[in-house]
Structure 1
């Protein structure tokens, strides 16, 4: 398809410099322009169009949009001998007008034009060094770029070989560098970077601009081809993900008819999308449901393992696969094959693991030979509680998921122990009724031998049962504890303001206490229930009437115990509440003991604590009094129940004797009447009753202890029922560009308080270095909290790269934000540990972050380099080194936004200058809160916030000259 022919400007307009309309149906070919033009009204879109035989054909591909005031230059067409190639055209929007620029365009217009027209290059394989104007030496493989706020700089090669992103070499003619473009050194090289003014003074600007225009069609063509290939790949991947989603949807229906068929069904996975497939399979093994498209990144590119896990809200932890790991089960893991470094899933199954290969779609049990093919480092995956408010049942289901084998084994083993235990009453009856009257010594020996074998078998079964119980408890503890910690980490920041630290710690530990009580109670109930049922069957076998008496006695014991427990529960509720208050005070007093001494308030603090602690102990003692009453009752109930059964035996015996007497008087012989219980049966019955009573006492005691769960649960419920800091249907932020915008944002920490931010609006360009200053209490720190998603605007909206924060998942944004706080501290450990932390970054990433802040040379000079051990707080380092190390820690994840809250406030002027020079070189968006105005003289822009409003903005010198709020702040610091 061809487009309307382009046209040159009216010759009259070039002479008279009059504005001329540029219509959309009459595009202007940049290759036919005689001079640069300026857009004076509307907007103009620049498109790249393929050419054939010198004519424009094919569809238009967008290159840039120019607004009023922008300029554009003639760009020659790139044509071969047949007239085929690429050309640029300008298409006017509604009301667009252009005019000839003249013979002496402003240098700022040239810089703006090059920033608009030069296509961004793909990210380099190596982290780029941000260079300022001047001469620089590059080593082989170094990548150089300019600061985003610098505009446009011209690169002059003085020595060595240099290459541009498109592979073209840099020759004698200067080359423009703008944000998003870079140059790499093929060997040792020396370069010089200068501004357009400096290049114009040497007379090289005109030929350098002409050379840049000549290379522009080729650079644009390569960028457009790369973009088209990327869009094609993304379309194919989206189609494949849609197909997988449809298969998963049908699999859900098939699974209703054939349970387990979905897990067994093979899944086709595209290369590069293994991480999402592995997470889906692991989530299914954990009993979770994840739709496949949920793992696609916002930009359409395959997610890595960390992104896929974050989208699934699963946690990971690095583990080492030690010798024999495959012979025991545990959590699902993601490992990598040593050959090809391809990720695979390790799923627990039975007493071992199964390896699932996403690309091959195969599963195979892991043995020693297969384990040798895996890298020793792996990632263990932890399940999480649902994002909705959860209850006790959700926690129990999470802990018991995947423990069916252990629970079945414990039940069967407990049943075996209980059945073996029946031999004791049976043997007792046989000895009294059969063996002793007949003096059968050989039978007694065999019976004793059988009891010894039964005891050994019972001990073996009990040992196996204990081992299975420990495995079950450890598995439950591992999953539930990790899920609770994950839940705490996902709670919004505002939740933690409602409670003191000690009270919150007590509530969190309460969940662990519930977990321990439930784990022990469930097993005790299971074992006691099995034993009591078996013993109860034995009681009915020997005597139905006595068995009913035993049931009545146990019901009486249960009623009294439950009644006392309910009375005790009331006191335990009060004790749990007052304990949280008292423990919260203790933690506050410990952390503030210095302030208490300075204020001479130690005695008042102790008095205040004693009142709370006294109330706690009062409720505790009342509860213990009822618990002692239960203990006394249970101790007395045993003998009393024996007396009651003896009385029952006597009554039953009298009844039998009376019946026999009546039968004798009536002359009835051998009637079917009742018979008296023999001595052996009596002893066997009482032995079985002892077992039954012991099992029921254990069961009742367990149920009684379970009542103590309720007050603890009532205190811990807010942690599990509060809304999470998640957007249920939020989008993954993808790779952020660094652009930030506040649009009419208002925020207040409480409805009755005045707003901290009041209709605040400003924007920050990607790569810009912005400082936020203003009087104390003006809302500067609140801005950082909103950027981190710790609080949400009550009015207005916060945008990242034009997308509202309210529609993005906070975690996907926070992962790309580095934060350096005023009171940040270094932890004890190596420099590498301090930089990398818990991230998946490697040693080379730590060195790259250190180079970004000019700390690499200092680390190399240390005894063990990156492995040099630091004390807590980094006391062996200078203040500047500590601050740069914390900045490197924030940069190691390659964030797109760096937040600094008074990061240099404690440094001297010389160290502060070194840290600021490091910050100025960073190729990320930087937002810095500063009270010392000397730290922000060289930032790109300053925002002055007063009473939650933006009152001034601009560069340092301009704001000083305005004699406004900023100038007043500066004068106060100069006094």
Structure 2
């Protein structure tokens, strides 16, 4: 309880309220009191009242009630002036008793420090609605009953939460609440959270509420403050009402769009070629909408074939409205350098005349510009690029609606990386042919060239092997570039889509996980993608090489090929066995790791509370137990990994010995 509150309660018990001439009434919830006359006041005798700001029409409150503060027994609520855009509505409970319509003689019955405490509580209650971030830079802090020189536009604070009434010299001009000239008054109550500025340098003075009461100017001070507060509150509530109206409009548009999409899906059950519902718009609303859909279709976004109606909101760009309607994330990018020579995916751009166009990648490299009005598609050259603005909009497709497994994730990114996968496959086949060329040429050299001492053919074979080596290196470079491009495109599509899906999940989902555990799970998808892209591609390329080597082995000796098959089966069986054992331990380790990381994040955020409650030792002990369980699983998983490494290190030597033994037996 604050000192002002305690001081006020001590005065309440010592006042003889029966000597006051004001009207004593109840103020139950079903009988609120409207303070709509200047100079009016409500004094709370018992219970409490909640104070609301309301608009008034024909003497009656209308519209929404905006809560301000709660006044307890002994506190007062002063009415704003007649020109105020809002009035105060006082709502109590069943046991509440109030006094209003106090004559001037009643105020004279208050002791100066009692009336000052009443004023401080009223100002403090309203100031809670004035909360605003403190400005940066140096500020002046005033104590009661002091004077100081102040710079122009320098923030002025009080030294405590209690109101300190600040007045500037006449030459300085009025005080501007929060530096806003529309919120200016000759005297204002400031505190450690409410500040003001002056337009010209000069001298300001500060007095306490007791001194204000003693000077007899407390009514003028409250009137000036209420006038400024009314203008501040009017601006804030107008913004709140405007935002609420925008939310209602957006909610209505979203509900309408959801219903139309559902009906559209129903219509496609009957007619697979149903483009839209009867009566629905079959053409985009405008050129930006048309270009947006061209880019969306190029990205393979669901439901981009049918234009959706959008609701335009004042001050919201049409691009943002389209992105919200189609549930797509967007990002502005800069078109710099020779951007048209590189592939960054489909983009939405604008000409210098603000005409929207779609930038679509070409199969052979570069970009085409698609005009949504004429439907003409032309190649982007340097001259055409100069006719475009220096920025564009990239679209980030969401995950498909039925994406619930790794297979669905793979199918969602496959169209994006399919050209690079084809290029990697072609390079793998070419590399396999080159790999098969070396043993064939070696066989020809040993069997034909060397016995006949054919130097010319010997030189030709050597040159062929050199060319094959350069070709294999070139194939590897192209394959590596294609792999990097595929990974980059997959990252660009997958990361944005996953975070978009996560941000759209209901709030109940996030309560099931700690922060660290959830971040570990989300980023774990990226680790899986990296592992699959590296391991899968290398595995597929390894299979490609193995097919050519197997064909060559069968060509030379099918019996040795069978022996090689047996060795491969042994290696595969050992790898699968230890891999499955390691995978089981890794799953448990990752689960423990998520628990540990979540606990660490929570501990760091609440470290101060743990130290205050002397619970940091218990927190450390709990972390140690959790970390020990995680490391136990790590050691188990690593032991199986070590067994695999030992096997793979020894297996080539054993396999070579077996192959040579088989060759010596089978080739006799």
Give 3-state SS (helix, strand or coil) of 1:150's partner. coil
When structure 1 is superposed on structure 2, of 422-431 and 207-216 the one drifting more is 422-431
Quick one: which of 547, 569, 587 aligns to 1:559?
Answer: 569
Over 3 Å counting, the alpha-carbon distance change for 1:28 and 1:365 in structure 2 is same
1:571 Cα shift? 10
Residue 390 of structure 2 aligns to a residue in which SS? coil
CA drift of 1:230 comes to 3.7
- Change over 3 Å in CA distance of 1:563–1:372 after alignment to 2: same
Matches of 1:78 and 1:264 in 2, distance apart? Answer: 56
Give CA deviations for 1:913-958 in whole Å, capped at 9, x if unaligned: xxxxxxxxxxxxxxxxxxxxxxxxxxxxxxxxxxxxxxxxxxxxxx
Aligned equivalent of 1:113? 122
Distance 1:115 1:462, change over 3 A: closer
Q: Please state whether the residue corresponding to 1:160 is helix, strand or coil.
A: coil
Q: Does the residue aligned with 2:166 lie in a helix, a strand or coil?
A: strand
Who is 1:632 aligned against? 653
Contact 2:54/2:61 (CA < 8 Å) preserved in 1? no
Q: State the distance in 2 between where 1:533 and 1:26 align.
A: 88
Give the Cα separation in 2 of the matches to 1:111 and 1:393. Answer: 66
Which residue in the other structure is 1:196 paired with? Answer: 209
1:554-577 CA-to-partner distances (Å, cap 9, x unmatched) read 331122223454676699899999
* 2:62 corresponds to 1:59: yes
- Give, in angstroms, the shift of residue 412 of structure 1: 1.6
Identify if the C-alpha distance between structure 1 residues 61 and 483 changes in structure 2 by more than 3 Å, giving closer, same or farther. Answer: closer
Q: Give the 3-state SS of the residue equivalent to 1:78 in structure 2.
A: coil
Displacement of 1:262 in angstroms is 3.7
Is 1:154 paired with 2:165?
Answer: yes
Q: Which residue of 71, 78, 85 maps to 2:83? A: 78
SS at match of 1:19: strand
List per-residue Cα deviations over 1:250-295 (Å, max 9, x = no partner): 89998998954545777857576679959969xx9xxxxx958xxx
Question: After superposition, what is the alpha-carbon deviation per residue over 1:299-331, rounded to whole angstroms, capped at 9, x for unaligned?
Answer: xxxxxxxxx99xxxxxx9x99998567755679
TM-score normalised according to structure 1 size:
0.41
Deviation readout 1:481-509 (Å, 9 max, x if unpaired):
99999x9xx9847979xxxxxxxx9x9x9
CA contact (8 A) 1:319 1:380 kept: no
Structure 1 residue 463: Cα displacement: 3.5
Whole-angstrom CA distance in 2 between matches of 1:22 and 1:572: 73
| In the alignment, structure 1 residue 206 sits paired with structure 2 residue 219 | yes
Equivalent pair of 1:78/1:87 in contact (CA under 8 Å): no
In structure 2, what is the Cα distance between the partners aligned to 1:380 and 1:630? 50
In structure 2, the CA distance between the partners of 1:130 and 1:246, relative to structure 1 (3 Å rule), is farther
Q: Distance in 2 between matches of 1:175 and 1:120?
A: 15
Q: Is the 8 A contact 2:37 2:79 kept in 1?
A: yes
Contact 2:142 2:156 in 1 (8 A): no
Per-residue Cα deviation, 1:389-433 (whole angstroms, up to 9, x for no partner): x99879988998943332221012212333466667888999999
**Does 2:49 match 1:43?**
yes
- Cα separation, 1, equivalents of 2:61 and 2:327: 39
Deviations 1:98-124 (A, max 9, x none): 225632442121122234457945958
- State how far apart, in whole Å, the 2-side matches of 1:410 and 1:271 are: 50
Indicate whether 1:103 and 2:107 are aligned. yes
* Aligned positions of 1:385-464 closer than 5 A: 402-419=416-433, 460-464=474-478
- Is the alpha carbon distance of 1:93 and 1:443 closer, same or farther for their aligned partners in structure 2, counting shifts above 3 Å? same
- The answer as to 2:187 corresponding to 1:174 is yes
1:156 to partner: Cα distance: 0.6
Contact 1:174 1:208 in 2 (8 A): yes
Alpha carbons of 1:457 and 1:622: their partners in 2 closer, same or farther (altered >3 Å)?
A: closer
Q: What TM-score do the two structures reach when normalised by structure 2? A: 0.56
Extract unaligned runs of 5+ from structure 1: 1-11, 80-84, 285-289, 293-307, 310-315, 340-344, 357-362, 497-504, 581-613, 648-975
Question: For residues 38 and 230 of structure 1, what CA distance do their matches in structure 2 show?
Answer: 35
* Cα deviations by residue, 1:5-26 (Å, 9 ceiling, x for unpaired): xxxxxxx998656732347568
Contact 2:37/2:80 (8 A) holds in 1: yes
Q: Counting helix residues as a fraction of each chain, which structure ranks higher?
A: 2
Partner Cα distance (2:302, 2:641) in 1: 54
Q: 1:139 to 1:322 in 2, by over 3 A?
A: farther
- Counterpart in the other structure of 1:229: 242
Match of 2:390 among 355, 373, 387: 373
Alignment of 1:226-375 (within 5 A): 226-242=239-255, 260-262=301-303, 270=313, 277=320, 328=342, 369=386, 373-374=390-391
- How far, CA to CA, are the matches of 1:203 and 1:37 in structure 2? 20
CA distance in 1, matches of 2:242, 2:95: 35
**8 Å CA contact 2:135, 2:155 repeated in 1:** yes
Shift of residue 150, structure 1, vs aligned partner: 0.9
Q: Do the aligned partners of 1:571 and 1:623 also contact (CA within 8 Å) in 2?
A: no
Task: Tell me the SS of whatever aligns to 2:62.
Answer: strand
The answer (yes or no) to whether the contact 2:575–2:644 under 8 Å persists in 1 is no
Q: Residues 273 and 406 from structure 1, CA distance in 2 versus in 1: closer, same or farther, beyond 3 angstroms?
A: farther
- Please say if 1:185 is aligned against 2:185: no
* Alpha-carbon separation, structure 1, partners of 2:495 and 2:261: 31
Per the TM alignment, residue 233 of structure 1 is displaced from its structure 2 partner at its CA by: 3.4
Aligned to 2:37: 31
2:34–2:87 Cα contact (<8 Å) kept: no
Worse-superposed segment, 216-225 or 108-117: 216-225
Distance 1:551 1:512 in 2: 40
Given that 2:183 and 2:232 are in contact with CA atoms closer than 8 Å, whether structure 1 keeps it comes out as no
